[in-house]
Structure formats: C-alpha cells, structure tokens
Chains A and B, each alone.
Chain A
Amino acid sequence: MEIFVQQCVNALSLGGTYALLALGLAVVFSVLGMINFAHGEILTITGYTVFFSLMLAVPAVLIIPLALIVAMLAAAAMERVAFRPLRGAGPTSLLITSFAVSGILQVLFQNLISARPRPVPIPDFLTGAFTVGPFHIGVIQSLSILATLAMVGLLTLFLKRTLLGMAIRAAAVDFPTTRLMGIRANRVILAAFAISGLLAGVSGLLWIAQRGSVDPLMGFLPVLKAFIAAILGGIGNLTGAVIGGFFLGAIEIGLQAALPEPVQPFRDAIALTLVVVVLLYRPQGLFGAVHSVRP
C-alpha cells in the first residue's frame, strides 16, 4: 500500500513534466496546426542560460526569471525567423522546417558551445526530500507537481480572462473568422509561441535540476514524449495535453513498478502499445479536438 501511494506520487510528478511539455506543443498546434519539433531546443536554451548565468555569477534570484524570459524570446524568435516566412504553407512544410530548426540549433550548440555536456551545479536543498509519514517525497518531484498546477492555472486564467488569451482560443477554432474580427494574426501566433516557450522554460528548469547538466542534444527525448502525450490527449486540445501527459506518466511508472524483471526491457514497447490501443478506440485522442473538421 505504501509503495502504491509512493508510486502514485512518482507518476504525478513525471506526468506533470510531460504535461507541461505537451501543453507547449498543443498551444502552438491549436493555433498553427503544426507540431514544433524544435520545442525541445527551447529546453536546451533554458539550460544554457542557467549555465552561462552561473558562469557569469548572475545573482541567484535573477537566474530563474532570466532563463524563462530567454526561453520565451527564443520561442518567439523561432517563430519570427523560421515559421513566419512559411505562413500559409502546408503542415508538412512546417513540420520539416521545425525539424530543420531543431537540427541547426543542435549543431550550433555542439560547435559553438561544446559537444560535451556542461555541468550545472544545483543547490543541495533542491536535491533533498522530505518525509510525510512513511513517504519520501523529493523536493524536485514536489516542485514539478506544483509547477504543473501553477502553469495550468495561470494558462487557464490567461486564456479565459485576457483579450489575447481569448483571441488565441478563437484562432484555435477558426483563424480566418478571428482575423475578420480585427485580431492581428501575427500577435496571436507570436503569443502562442511565447507561451509555449514559457512552458518549455519551466520544464527545462525542472529537467536541468534533475540531471545537473546541459547537453546539446538533450531536447530530443522530452519533445518525443510530449508529442506522444499530446497525441494521446487529442492533439491541439489543451486539457487533453495535460491529461495525456499525466496518463503517459502513469503508464510509464505503472509498468516500471508492476512488470516482472524479465519483461522490463519491453517496457517502452508495452507503453507505446497501450497508447496505440487507446488511439484505436479513440482515434482523435482522449479529448479529440472538437474543431477537427473545419467548415
């Protein structure tokens, strides 16, 4: 029983980081209809910001805000430089472009910074744990659960209460009509990218705190998991992305805990099979986008 509760906490925490990443993908997808595979490189950029800030002895309280701002700017710059010139191009062109952006950034990191991982020392209090009854809860684990809740809350407020937020939601349903209402497309798209950058920045910080280093190629795997989570939740649906993230986290932790040792190497295969089974019954994902058929 204790182990079960412990594993549930583990699943929540892992699912939370997947949810943040999937949410970042979903925000951009909902507006532009593209999956940004360069999303992972925002994580890397966040990590390098922390690395260079520490090297330049930037005061500790400024590092986190600075890293998040750089993440948002990087995402916005990506939109401006790589995706805006392709406005109106088909989803395939955008997808290929996002792969290209990702590849170019990785090579630049490798050649201009270092091919080796760079250490990012994390304060010891962040690596600790506290004990609640029989349970050990890691500080980073709790932070990722809290950060997920906070980000989802803030995002919901932003989308429901602000003009820009409502414009993004409207654009997700019907972009041409939204533009006819006098909303500028560039602002909406830029905002969507900046939000996805912020979400990637937060998950980047959590991921860096966990791994203690920043590596030119570190963005690939998280974005792949986020992609799976977003598909599972119903691509383009924000609630779905969050649920998909937690669902994927639960599957991974559950299999890790429950599978007998000889079957363990097939864990990822089994996890993905479960995802396929879900998609067989709900091809549009758990929360399939309602606007999947546009007039």
Chain B
Amino acid sequence: MKLVPIYAIAGALTLATMLPQQAAADDLVVGAAISLTGGLAYADVPAQKGMQLAIDEINAAGGIGGKYKIDLRLKDSRSDPAQTSIAAQELIDDGASVLVTPCDADPSIGAGQMAQSAGVAAFSTCASSPNLPLAVGDHMFTNFPGDNVQATVSAKYAIDSGYKNAYILISPDTSYTQLPNYFKTVFETLGGKVVGEDNFSIGQQDFSAQVTKIKSLEPAADVIMTAAYEPDFPAFIKQLRAAGITAPVIGSDGIDSPTTFALGDVAEGVVFSTAGFAAPGSPLEAFNAKYKAANGENPDTIFSAIGYDLIKVLEAAVLKADSVDREAIWQAVRELENVQGATSTITYKGTNGVPLRQVSLIKVVKGDRELVLQEAPDAALIPAPSL
C-alpha cells in the first residue's frame, strides 16, 4: 500500500511529460536529456538543481534580457546511451533551441550527434573529457575544466612543490579515470619522472596489491596522482595510509565530495583539482547561499554550481544573439568571452568546444577545504586530447 503514492506520482509525471507542451514564440526551449536515475544521477541530479536555480532566477526577473523566458524540458535518459539518444531526438523534434546532455562523454556522443545534424548547440552538464567535442563536432560543447587542463595545473603544482618521482594510478574503465596520463605528460615535460604506474577497476574494493607495489618502488614515489573517485578513492587512500605510506596524494574533481572531507586523518593533506572555490565574496559563495535558501541544504558538490554556469552561458548567448533561433544561439556561443559563472569566468571563443575556465587546487585540511591556488594554466603546457 505504501508504494501507491509513488506510483501515483510517477504516473502523473509520465502523463505530464506526454502532454504536448506549447512554448511561447519567445521562450528559450532548453531540452535536457540527462540522467535522473542510474549510474550518472550522482552528477546530473545536482547539476539539474543548479540549472533550475538559475532558470527560476532568470524567469523571476522577466526572462533573459526581460524578453526570453526559459522553458526547461527534462527527459530522464536513465544513464543509458541509447535512451539518451532517443530522449535527445524527441527533445530536438519538440523544438528545443539547445540541448543539454549527461555528465559523461559516452551518452553525450550519441545525443551530441543528433544535435550536430539538427544544427542545435549541445552542452554536456559536467563531462570533463576534452575529446567529447572532437568526437561529435562543432555543435558539442563541454562545461567543465578539461581533464588535460586539470592535470596540467596539478602537475605544475607537483613540480613547484619539489616532487620529483611520481606514481600514477589509472583505471582504463572510463576516459575520466585516465586523467593521470595527462599528468604524466606534463610532469615529465617539467622534468619530473613517473617511477611507477598501475591500473585498477572501478568499484574494486581492494587496493592492497597496488599498495604493496607502491611500498616496494625504487626510488620511492614522493607524490601519488590518481583520478579515482568514490568508492575507489577512499578505499585506496585508507589502504595506502594503513600501509604506512605518507607520500602526498593528488586527486581530481571526482573526489570533490563530502565523503572525502569525512574520511578523517587519512585524507588530511590530500590536494585535488576542481572547478571552483567558495572564497569569501566570490560568486561561488553567493551561489552556495542561494542554493541553500532554495533547497534547505548546502550543495553536495561543485556540479550544482556547474549546472548554474551552464544556464548563465545560455543566457549570455541568447543576449548576444538577441534570438532563440538554434543557429543564432550556436553562433553566439562560439563568440562568448568571459561569461561570469558561479565557479569561474567562461570563454568559448577560440576554443574547439572545451571552455577556458580556471582550475582550483584545493587541500583537505582538518575535514575542511583550503585553497592552494586558482589559475588558468599556460596554454603551451596543456597536452593535446588523446583519443
């Protein structure tokens, strides 16, 4: 009996999405084929909350430029690439002016190709793979500091901190978890040496074999870099510290999560790259306050602010184009410079679809975050995306 209300809600929602939606001619129809359930929901749900916050804010002020209200149409792509493509096609047929795709390159490629052939600009909520626009074409945009950019910042930081011998831990399972390969390129360009590297499988609970190998490295690694995230990262670092290895660990945005800060002593001193830092007076701090007012709790992850950024980019593009026409918006996105988002300024002009954004390096100190540095790295150092 208890399940009845849930079925009722689900039924009502299904019905609501099936009803024909009529947008006013001046509405910006944003079609979002993103994952509200399944393996990508951990990223897309927070991103969607950030998008919604920006949309409510803009619509309450009378729409973009007081003229174009935003009409968000959401279809759950269930973290399934095939379902994402179907949802994307439906949204495009339904008249979406722009398409939003999930926080991962795989489903975004199929959906992006639909957008590409329909001449619709597509944005992944938070995929960080620099390959995504290359795989799809000039209508695909990402919305996060690229893996190669993050790795450049952390490798330069490692060299500047005096580390010479690095160990990298990679998972071949996703493009994102291969980020340490970029780290390796930059670290070696700057004169460091990678003395050991290992693979892991996402979701493997045991890292004792890798830890035993790290312990026997000759020369010993004085820094460890990985893009592992939950649940792998906590398991890895616990086993690493339990084995008495004290070398500093550098991670990436995947561990920008409350779990990392709840790990206690083992995570003390971990440094990771992410999209922003809520310094006092920063736009991110303002965003967090707004988010808390709307949702009653602080955002769990930077992905909410990133979702907010995405709508701010669309706002800037529509303002520039002064139109909600697909082609005009796409043209305008390619000319955007220094759009102020919640996490950073965002520039698409002169890029191949991966925006220029700042990267923040954050250190875990007593269960809280401390800013190490915030910068856009030297373009000459950034490794080319590898396929």
> A residues near B, CB below 8 A?
3, 6-7, 9-10, 13-14, 17, 106-108, 110-111, 114-124, 127-129, 131, 136, 138-141, 207, 210-213, 215-218, 221-222, 252-253, 256-257, 261, 264-265, 267-268
Contacts and interface: CB of A to CB of B under 8 A. Distances in A.
A139 B243 CA distance: 10
A10 B208 contact: yes
Interface residues of B, number: 47
Given A119-B259, A121-B264, A217 B234 contact: no
Closest 3 CB pairs of A and B: A256-B209, A211-B231, A10-B208
B235 to A, nearest CB: 5
B368 interface: no
Nearest to A128: B242
Interface string B23-55: 000000000000011110110111000000000
Contact of A212 (B41, B172, B238): B238
Contact of A6 (B6, B212, B301): B212
Contact of A129 (B37, B38, B42, B244): B244
Contacts of A264: 198-199
Interface string B217-242: 00000000000001100110011011
Contact of B37 (A107, A252, A261): A107
B230 to A, nearest CB: 5
A118 B257 CA distance: 9
Nearest to B234: A212
A261 B209 contact: no
B261 interface: yes
Given A136-B242, A257-B212, A127 B199 contact: no
Interface in B201-225: 201, 203-206, 208-210, 212-213, 215-216
A277 to B, nearest CB: 20
B205 A124 contact: no
Q: Which of A114, A215, A264 has the most CB of B within 10 A?
A: A264
A52 B324 CA distance: 46
Contacts of B372: none
B262 interface: yes
Residue with the highest number of chain A CB atoms closer than 10 Å, among B206, B215, B216: B206
Nearest to A141: B208
B263 interface: yes
Given A110-B37, A119-B261, A252-B206, 17 more contacts: A6-B212, A10-B206, A13-B206, A14-B206, A116-B46, A124-B264, A127-B264, A138-B238, A140-B238, A210-B238, A211-B230, A211-B234, A212-B259, A212-B262, A213-B257, A213-B262, A264-B198
Given A261-B198, A264-B198, A14 B205 contact: yes
Given A129-B243, A267-B201, A119 B258 contact: yes
Contacts of A124: 264-266
Interface string B246-286: 00000000000111011111100000000000000000000
Contacts of B266: 124, 127
Interface of B: 6, 36-39, 41-42, 44-46, 172, 197-199, 201, 203-206, 208-210, 212-213, 215-216, 230-231, 234-235, 238-239, 241-244, 257-259, 261-266, 300-301
A257 B198 CA distance: 10
A7 B266 CA distance: 22
Nearest to A211: B231
Contacts of A129: 242-244
Contacts of B234: 210-213
A221 B300 CA distance: 24
A168 to B, nearest CB: 29
Contact of A116 (B239, B243, B244, B300): B300
B212 A10 contact: yes
Given A115-B42, A116-B42, A13 B242 contact: no
A120 B46 contact: no
7 contacts: A7-B209, A121-B263, A122-B264, A128-B242, A207-B205, A261-B199, A264-B198
A117 B208 contact: no
Contacts of A106: 37
B259 to A, nearest CB: 4
